[in-house]
Structure 1
Amino acid sequence: MALFTLGINHRTAPLSVREQVAFHAEELRRALGDLLGGARAQEAAILSTCNRTELYCQAESPERVSQWLAEYRRLAPDDIAPYLYVHPEREAVRHAFRVASGLDSMVLGEPQILGQMKEAVRIAREEGSLGATLNKLFQNSFAVAKDVRSTTAIGANIVSMAAAAVRLAGRIFERIDEQRVLFIGAGEMIELCATHFAAQKPKQIVVANRTVDRGRALAERFGATAIRLEDVAGRLQEFDIVITCTASQLPILGLGLVERAIKSRRHRPMFMVDLAVPRDVEVEVGELDDVFLYTVDDLAQIVEEGMEARQSAVVSAETIVDARVDAFLHWLHARDSVPLIRALRDSAERMRRHELDHALKLLARGDDPAAVLEQLSQRLTNKFLHAPTQALHQADGNRSEQQALISRLFHLHSD
């Protein structure tokens, strides 16, 4: 059985292909059972996210697992073959360590993948598809990820627009949990921002959207309320933080509207992030004394600085990964010797018992104990040395190699 990883990710395949081989959480258990049921793999775990589907296996061949994946997803093998990658033993171990550490993610150093990998391992363990090899591999992967994050700056800097918005808000307001937040729009970017801000537990979250039902669906996820977009004009003054990202071709928050809101707030500061292109907030709003307005370009600069800082940590992280790969492979290859070691010890034990029984019979008939012990030691020595001596006598072209091997095994010296 060989250790390998077979997969598809955001670098090798477009979304239209990745979604065809993705596994939802409820599917993983059935898929693992099917993969192991046909003796295609001895051990297996499936990691499936929006950016990757990877099968970590201890199996006879990647070809059989690839064929299973195509059949299970009712795809022609040729349809996915161009997008698949296979990492054999050493590369499979290195890949697992890099994935867990966020070094292979679309956003370098993002921490979510570690939790997703742990969930995949939990399911595999519950389904009985983890053996000694994969269990050791993943435990080492988690340890490497912890080591990378605690000793490098791989996850210490802001590398997303949403996280950057939260960081900027924290510079304006000492406590975000005392602020009221308004999200204008209900698209993917607003959803990401809402996720980050909701983690700070603000006093109130409101979602304003042209389509109220869509706004309400997003609001319900965060315990928020939804309002119509046209209601923003009458309620803007209520909010300390405003995040907007719509598809409007014209600004929806004009200078006059924001001026009136600031006056009603008695000049308490308002933090605004305009992530829309074209912009949702008139440029002149940024000139108001009590408004802190940031655009997508402002946040992009913070993200770029974070990416540069993370990139500088990659070298240190990769060094940690490589060292741990060597340690894991040493353990893995040592396991290959276990059956041979066990057979050697069993053979020696049989010799010992046979000679001990022979010696006990001689003692029982009254032979001199000293002579019996002398004979026992000689017979054991002859039996233990018979195989290596015979190997030396029968060696042909590789006699010098045999001699070097036996010298090393028995710690012999030329003198």
Structure 2
Amino acid sequence: MNLLVLGVNHETAPLAVRERLAFSPDELQAALPGLIAQPGVSEAAIISTCNRTELYCNARDMRALLDWFAHSRGRKAEEVGQYLYVHSGEAAARHTFRVAAGLDSMVLGETQILGQMKDAERVARESGSMGVLLNGLFQRAFQVAKDVRSHTKIGSASVSMAAAGVRLAERIFPKVADCSVLFVGAGEMIELCATHFCAQNPRKVAVANRTLERGQKLAAEHGGEAMVLTELSERLHEFDIIVTSTASPLPVIGKGMIERAIKLRKRRPLFIVDLAVPRDVEPEAAALADVYLYTVDDLHEVVRQGVQSRQGEVVAAEGLIAEHVDEFAHWVTSRELVPTIRDLRDHAERTARNELARARKRLAAGDDPEDVLEKLTAQLSAKFLHAPLASLNAATGNEQAALVAATRRLFRLHDEE
């Protein structure tokens, strides 16, 4: 199969690299047509999250994918190559299924990646870059994720990024309930974070978003207020905890903005969790006194807690995935046989029709039916056997031995006792 997966993730590339290689939602729509226009690429899908950017392709040339990926991100291939992993064939299918099941995530067993994969599949389908192979791959990946969650407890003790953020905040402040919390953005990750933080009953909640309407909807769910991003500079100092995750290609909170907020807060601590890739907060802000800035990579060790207790579930999940990989490989192989089976059947039917037409002409001319039938069977036998016999006679050495073995297996020829 020509299935290739190429990408970077939290294990192979630091955040500073991942954010340079990430695609924004708007970029994905424009990127896919360019990707399938590359030589040898017939299908493509792209997943780009805070922890990974991956190309899923039906392609013959890995180098073409690498060159396109690097060029699309404004980088040189050798610069990107050191952080990349490449999977092909069954290994690519196994990787895809592990990603869908949450086994390849920073948070073992997390479910958010499945929604992100479904979004990637939808975008590829709408862009016209989704074909039979990738459709089969993604649909099976979704089924794998369902089976793993149904038959194992892989996600029962998972520590989400949002929960990890709450834990870290409690190291800075005695109680989140005494804090004011600002959520920047209103996407799925912020919704998850809002659920975890607001469960601690913070003193004040606000949502800042590019569009006020969406921010108001999320704020209303948690009894908070909404504002637009342009208000951040004036109001940042009001909040003790800031959780941000937008799709902005550039930081929405600069170092200078945070410096002004710290002065107005009279050196009271400011806790910031930046879950965006590319980052929403200028990284230089981490050097400021009284500022506690955490990124997705900083939360890595926190979310690793509890992993050891789930190793038995990981083994069970890997077993399920192995079964699905075998099924997928069999499906791909059977599809690859379809053209040959169709051509072979067409050849046999065409030969039979031609010989039958000749036999009917002889019968119409008054020839002896018994002689016509004998001639028909002889001609059919000769026509069907001509090509394989010619190939066997023309072959030499190892090729002939391989053809003989294949012929005996195909026609079920058994040596006499």
Query: Fold-level match, TM-score > 0.5?
Result: yes
Identify the match of residue 204 of structure 2 among 203, 207, 211: 207
User: After the TM superposition, which residues 199-348 of structure 1 pair with which residues of structure 2 at under 5 Å, given as runs?
Assistant: 206-207=203-204, 220=216, 221-223=218-220, 224-225=223-224, 306-348=306-348
Q: Which residue of 1 aligns with 2:84?
A: 84
Q: Distance in 2 between matches of 1:388 and 1:25?
A: 54
The verdict on how the C-alpha distance between 1:141 and 1:184 changes in structure 2, with shifts beyond 3 A counting, is same
Q: Counterpart of 2:20 in 1: which secondary structure?
A: coil
Q: Which residue of 1 aligns with 2:195?
A: 198
Q: Which residue of 1 aligns with 2:403?
A: 402
Q: Counterpart of 2:3 in 1: which secondary structure?
A: strand
Q: Compare 12-21 and 193-202 and name the one that shifted more.
A: 193-202
Q: Counterpart of 1:47 in 2: which secondary structure?
A: strand
Q: Distance in 2 between matches of 1:340 and 1:228?
A: 66
Deviation (angstroms), 1:352: 1.0
The verdict on how the C-alpha distance between 1:336 and 1:304 changes in structure 2, with shifts beyond 3 A counting, is closer
The verdict on how the C-alpha distance between 1:73 and 1:403 changes in structure 2, with shifts beyond 3 A counting, is closer
Matching of residue 358 in structure 1 with residue 358 in structure 2: yes
For the 8 Å contact 2:94–2:321, the answer to whether it is kept is: yes
Which one-letter code corresponds to 1:411 in the other structure? R
Matching of residue 75 in structure 1 with residue 72 in structure 2: no
Which one-letter code corresponds to 2:365 in the other structure? R
Which one-letter code corresponds to 2:122 in the other structure? R
Q: Counterpart of 1:74 in 2: which secondary structure?
A: coil
The verdict on how the C-alpha distance between 1:251 and 1:134 changes in structure 2, with shifts beyond 3 A counting, is closer
For the 8 Å contact 2:4–2:57, the answer to whether it is kept is: yes
Q: Distance in 2 between matches of 1:71 and 1:161?
A: 32
Matching of residue 120 in structure 1 with residue 87 in structure 2: no
Q: Distance in 2 between matches of 1:145 and 1:114?
A: 8
Q: Distance in 2 between matches of 1:142 and 1:185?
A: 35
The verdict on how the C-alpha distance between 1:396 and 1:65 changes in structure 2, with shifts beyond 3 A counting, is closer
Q: Distance in 1 between matches of 2:17 and 2:397?
A: 55
Q: Distance in 2 between matches of 1:385 and 1:80?
A: 54
Q: Counterpart of 1:367 in 2: which secondary structure?
A: coil
Deviation (angstroms), 1:225: 2.6
Which one-letter code corresponds to 1:53 in the other structure? T
Q: Distance in 2 between matches of 1:138 and 1:413?
A: 43
Deviation (angstroms), 1:183: 4.7
1:101-136 per-residue CA deviation (whole Å, 9 max, x = no partner) reads 000000111000000000000010111101111110
Runs of 4+ in structure 1 deviating by more than 6 angstroms, as ranges, are: 191-194, 199-205, 227-232, 246-252, 300-305
The verdict on how the C-alpha distance between 1:96 and 1:228 changes in structure 2, with shifts beyond 3 A counting, is closer
Q: Distance in 2 between matches of 1:332 and 1:378?
A: 38
Q: Distance in 1 between matches of 2:394 and 2:118?
A: 54
Q: Counterpart of 2:82 in 1: which secondary structure?
A: helix
Q: What is the aligned residue count?
A: 339
Q: Distance in 2 between matches of 1:25 and 1:53?
A: 12
Q: Distance in 1 between matches of 2:302 and 2:159?
A: 8
For the 8 Å contact 2:22–2:48, the answer to whether it is kept is: yes
Q: Distance in 1 between matches of 2:269 and 2:347?
A: 85
For the 8 Å contact 1:163–1:193, the answer to whether it is kept is: no
Q: Counterpart of 2:6 in 1: which secondary structure?
A: strand
Q: Which residue of 2 aligns with 1:296?
A: none
Consecutive unaligned residues of structure 1, counting only runs of 5 or more, are 167-179, 233-245, 253-277, 279-299
- In percent, how many aligned pairs have the same letter? 46
For the 8 Å contact 1:47–1:53, the answer to whether it is kept is: yes
Which one-letter code corresponds to 1:198 in the other structure? T
For the 8 Å contact 1:5–1:87, the answer to whether it is kept is: yes
User: Larger Cα Rg: Structure 1 or Structure 2?
Assistant: 1
Q: Which residue of 1 aligns with 2:255?
A: none
For the 8 Å contact 1:158–1:302, the answer to whether it is kept is: no
Which one-letter code corresponds to 2:407 in the other structure? I
Q: Distance in 2 between matches of 1:231 and 1:109?
A: 32
Q: Which residue of 1 aligns with 2:378?
A: 378
For the 8 Å contact 1:109–1:310, the answer to whether it is kept is: no
Deviation (angstroms), 1:40: 5.5
Deviation (angstroms), 1:7: 0.5
Q: Distance in 2 between matches of 1:39 and 1:377?
A: 48
The verdict on how the C-alpha distance between 1:161 and 1:43 changes in structure 2, with shifts beyond 3 A counting, is closer
Consecutive unaligned residues of structure 2, counting only runs of 5 or more, are 167-175, 226-234, 241-261, 271-289, 291-299
TM, length-normalised to structure 1: 0.70
Q: Distance in 1 between matches of 2:208 and 2:198?
A: 24
Q: Distance in 1 between matches of 2:402 and 2:38?
A: 43
Q: Distance in 2 between matches of 1:353 and 1:301?
A: 71
Q: Counterpart of 1:19 in 2: which secondary structure?
A: helix
User: After the TM superposition, which residues 157-176 of structure 1 pair with which residues of structure 2 at under 5 Å, given as runs?
Assistant: 157-160=157-160, 162-163=162-163
